[in-house]
Structure 1
Amino acid sequence: MEVILQQLASFSVLIYIVSTMLSMGLKFFPKQFFEPLKDKSLVLKSLAANFVVLPVVTYIILQLIPLQQGLAIGLVLMAAGAGSPFMLKLVQFMKADMAFAVGLMLILSTVTLIYMPLLLSLLIPGVSVNPLSIAGSLLGLIFVPLIVGTVLKLKYTKLAATIQPIFNRLSNIFIFMVVVLYLGLNYQDFITVFGTGALVAALMFVTAAFVVGYLLGGPSKNTRSVLGMGTAIRNSSAAFVVAVTNFSSEYDVMAMIIVVYMLSIILMFIISSSMGRGSKVLEVA
């Protein structure tokens, strides 16, 4: 039964990501994704938050809370990867700048392909990272559906407007399934790390990531919220690829990745829901 649920969880992740990217592509014209990214200062701050400040914060956390080697490696893997498509659903809940969120995710996931192998070779000697493995999953699950959606938007605008809500609802259904299934299947991971300091370290990591992104997100509340979410929700797909390739026998590595990722989803859902309610109150006022 557990094997079936694991397969269903993996399938739900795939459907969620593809339907989300299709929905985003069907909703916006290509130029709308790149328009917010013309602000070079904001782009540089976004890159700095994810690839400079957060790794430094991670190092500080590991100095304050010494973890077992496997747990520490799992945290470093999460710090090295950015650009998770899960941030898009949270940004949607907040009613923030969706076009900027998609553009940001594309930039962060692309930079991750180059950045992750370099950072891990410095911090974890002996680790081999195959950028092509990570690139394959990113291209197939993120870039291709987004491009298909934008092409349909450009050539068949009415059709795109008709089917976009369908994929959006599909995305909503499967994000719910993903959260429920992964919480149910991985609750033992949370229990395992109790008493090791890993849970506290993960909580500090996610909270600090959101704060760093929010503070560097520029003067607009919309972009601050988006960058906060984009920095807090890490690219677990890239982390899993590296973990499976290099640390398949070290359960602690996988456990830490799952704990950080599930904590980030839970905390960011709470924050995005709160911000979303705040937006509705302002609209009513």
Structure 2
Amino acid sequence: MNAKALILLALQIAIAGTVFAYGLRASYSDLLYIVNRPGLLLRSLIAMLVITPLMVVACVYFLDLPQPTAVVLLALSVSPVPPLLPQKERKAGGAIAPYGLGLLVVLALVSIITVPLSIAVFDWLFAQPFAVGLTAIIIILLKMIFAPLAAGILFSKLMPRVGLRLLRPLRLVAATLLAIGVAALLAGSWHAVWSTTSQSTVVAIVAFVLAGFVVGHLLGGPKPEHATVLALATASRHPAIALAIASANYPGEPFAPTLILYLLVCTLMAIPYVKWRRSRSAVYARTS
């Protein structure tokens, strides 16, 4: 096993461990939180699966984007939220895990249907043979979301005390592995990212992330915690599923550098938003 394979394995273990930790603390009411709020569910789906893809389609139509950039943005626009989303929400300052966790599960389930439908629409719009490896997407969802989450919930039911004791060290190990893996991946891919990045690519990715924050925040509704969750969810998409979609359609194209650039831009742009929402959350808590 080479160094790159080890890095990817460390990232997969870190993400699976994080989702397993969600399961240790999750309840069935958490998972049904968004389902029991149909208005919030509808706005969430519209923000993530209707408005964002339409904006990306407009960008691809009217901007002269490199093919890898266009394909990656289209794939990101129909991908579900990443498994680390509830962790970002917690840092934004608030007890907002039920919505984030419910959205994570609902979008993963819905994407099994919406991703092939969206790809078919892209095929019709751009008169190009788009395809999607549905089996590959289901495997990613099972490995990174459903299996570790279900295992965590089951473990907490069978051994609740042990689960509570494991929670903090498990989060620490997962966070450490994730930080080391991301740093190593960036160090090994920085030259490729730099050499394949164009000005139009940077502008398009920044516009995609910024639009995600704005659309999600506005459609999140009057509750501050809902606006924060949906803003982060709309801007942050599952890179592994986006890569699977892009590679299935254009197997010879180097999509990884563009996706790494997206992750960097999204992370950097999320920092000021998270800080702002944390301060707003503190003000809201004092005045309510």
TM-score greater than 0.5 by the shorter chain:
yes
- Calculate the TM-score normalised by the size of structure 1: 0.89
2-structure distance, mates of 1:110, 1:145: 15
- Distance, in Å, in 2 between the alignment partners of 1:222 and 1:119 is 29
> Match for 1:259 among 246, 258, 261?
261
Shift of 1:32: 2.2
Displacement of 1:99 after TM fit? 1.7
For residues 265 and 81 of structure 2, the distance between their equivalents in structure 1, rounded to whole angstroms, comes to: 17
Question: Any idea what SS the aligned residue of 1:111 has?
Answer: helix
Cα 1:61–1:245 change in 2 (3 A) is closer
Q: Deviations over 1:171-229 (max 9, x none)?
A: 32233224323332332344234444110100000110111111111111111101111
In 2, distance between residues paired with 1:146 and 1:269? 27
CA contact (8 A) 2:30 2:101 kept: no
Letter in 2 for 1:122: V
More displaced 10-residue stretch of structure 1: 148-157 or 265-274: 265-274
Cα distance, 1:283 vs structure 2:
6.5
2:179 alignment partner AA: F
Deviation at 1:276, TM superposition (A): 3.5
Q: 1:44 to 1:198 in 2, by over 3 A?
A: same
Structure 1 residues 220-231: aligned runs within 5 Å:
220-231=223-234
Q: What does residue range 118-197 of structure 1 map to in structure 2 within 5 Å?
A: 118-124=117-123, 125-197=128-200
Cα deviations across residues 125-157 of structure 1 (Å, max 9, x unaligned)? 312212121111211221111111112222322
Query: How far apart, CA to CA, are the structure 1 residues paired with 2:13 and 2:119?
Result: 30
Per-residue displacement from partner, 1:61-85 (whole Å, max 9, x unpaired)? 2344321223211211111212211
Structure 1 distance, partners of 2:87, 2:62, is: 33
* Separation in structure 2 between the aligned mates of residue 196 and residue 156 of structure 1, nearest angstrom: 53
Aligned residue pairs total 282
In structure 2, how many angstroms separate the alpha carbons of the residues matched to 1:254 and 1:152?
A: 35
Please report how far the alpha carbon of residue 234 of structure 1 lies from its aligned counterpart in structure 2 after TM superposition: 0.7
Query: Residues 91-110 of structure 1: matches in 2 within 5 Å?
Result: 91-96=89-94, 97-110=96-109
Distance 1:160 1:10 in 2: 27
Root mean square deviation of aligned Cα: 2.3
Partner of 1:236: 239
* Alpha carbons 1:83, 1:107 under 8 Å: kept: no
Q: Distance in 2 between matches of 1:91 and 1:151?
A: 24
- Percentage of matched positions with identical amino acids: 22
TM superposition shift of 1:168: 1.6
TM-superposed CA distance for 1:88, in Å, is 2.2
Task: Mark the CA change 1:255 to 1:268 in structure 2 (over 3 Å): closer, same or farther.
Answer: same
Kept after mapping to 1: 8 A contact 2:79/2:115: yes
Instruction: Assess if the C-alpha contact under 8 Å between 2:122 and 2:130 holds in 1.
Output: no
Q: CA deviation at 1:281?
A: 7.2
Question: Which sections of structure 1, spanning at least 5 residues, go unmatched?
Answer: none
Cα pair distance change 1:14/1:194, threshold 3 Å = closer
CA displacement at 1:282 relative to structure 2: 6.8
Find the aligned partners of 2:61 and 2:131 in 1 and give their Cα distance: 25
Report if aligned partners of 2:72, 2:258 keep a CA contact under 8 Å in 1: yes
Please state whether the residue corresponding to 1:197 is helix, strand or coil: helix
Deviates further, 86-95 or 61-70: 61-70
For residue 35 of structure 1, what is the aligned residue in structure 2?
A: 33
Within 1, Cα distance between the matches of 2:157 and 2:148? 14
Structure 2, unaligned runs of 5 or more:
none
Compute the TM-score of the two structures, normalised by the length of structure 2: 0.89
Partner of 1:52: 50
Amino acid in the other structure paired with 1:119: S
Q: Provide closer, same or farther for how the CA distance between residues 76 and 36 of structure 1 changes in structure 2, counting only shifts above 3 A.
A: closer
1:204–1:146: structure 2 CA closer, same or farther, 3 Å change rule?
same
Change beyond 3 A, Cα 1:93–1:174:
farther
CA distance in structure 2 between the partners assigned to 1:146 and 1:226 by the alignment: 19
Q: CA deviation at 1:242?
A: 2.1
TM-aligned CA distance change 1:190 to 1:255, over 3 Å: closer
